[in-house]
Amino acid sequence: MQLESMYQEIILDHYKNPHGRGLREPFEAEVHHVNPTCGDEVTLRLHLEGDTVADVSYEGMGCSISQASISAMYDLVLGKSVTEALATGEDFMTLMQAKGDPTVAEKLEDTLEDAVAFAGVSKYPARIKCALMSWMALKDASARALATTNPGGTP
């Protein structure tokens, strides 16, 4: 059984009891992302207070990996600056490209917290995009929110 390496207990917990789920107001940007090969979907709203991620609210449907990833992301980015949140997203991307290399996961453990449990997913190329969908949506929403709150300028 290699399944446990992908479906860590933390992932299944996030899947069964997602954190921050539901669409809330206020928000500066709302995006809808789909995974066209499998039909996974997420609608994500981002609320900024100044440069700080004040809320990420979402609705989605999809597999355990895609849904747990959103929940873990919610915990990670709340209260961070947009720059920090996106940097965390880059770290998560690095984890997904690690092909199961445990040294990569060890290095990222402090920044990714629960999300480091997704390390096992990186051994299954077909599932990586499931885990990344939420982070792509957040990146998209950040760009849109900043364009709304800070027209013509950079953060």
Partner 1 sequence: MTQTVSRPVGAHEPLPLDVEAIRADFPILTRTVRDGKRLVYLDSGATSQKPRSVLDAERWFYENVNAAPHRGAHALAEEATGAYEAARATIGGFIGAPDREIVFTRNTTEAINLVAYALSNAATAKEEEFRTYAVGQGDEIVVTEMEHHANLVPWQQLCERTGATLRWLGLTDDGRLDLSDLATVVNERTKLVAVTQQSNILGTINPLGEIVARAREVGALVLVDGAQSVPHQPVDVTELGADFLVFSGHKMLGPTGVGVLWGRYEVLDKLPPFLTGGSMIEVVRMEGSTFAAPPQRFEAGVPMTAQVIGLAAAVEYLQGLGMDTVQAHEEAITGYALQKLAEIPGVTVVGPPDTVARGGAVSFTVEGIHPHDVGQVLDDHGIAVRVGHHCAWPVVRRYGVPATTRATFYVHTGYDDIDALADGIRAAQKFFGTA
What string of DSSP letters covers 51-110? Answer: TEEEEEEEEEE--HHHHHHHHHHHHHHTTSBHHHHHHHHHHHHHHHTSTT-HHHHHHHHH
CA distance 66 to 118: 10
Site string for partner 1, 86-105 (x = CB under 8 A): --------------------
Counting contacts by CB under 8 A, is residue 124 touching partner 1?
yes
Considering only 13, 41, 84, 140, the residue that binds partner 1 (CB under 8 A) is 41
Helix, strand, coil percentages in the chain from 3-state DSSP, rounded to 5: 55, 20, 25
Q: Which of residues 48-67 bind partner 1 (CB under 8 A)?
A: 61-66
Considering only 23, 26, 32, 39, the residue that binds partner 1 (CB under 8 A) is 39
Considering only 40, 71, 112, 135, the residue that binds partner 1 (CB under 8 A) is 40
Binding site for partner 1 (CB under 8 A): 1-3, 6-7, 12, 37-41, 61-66, 124, 127, 130
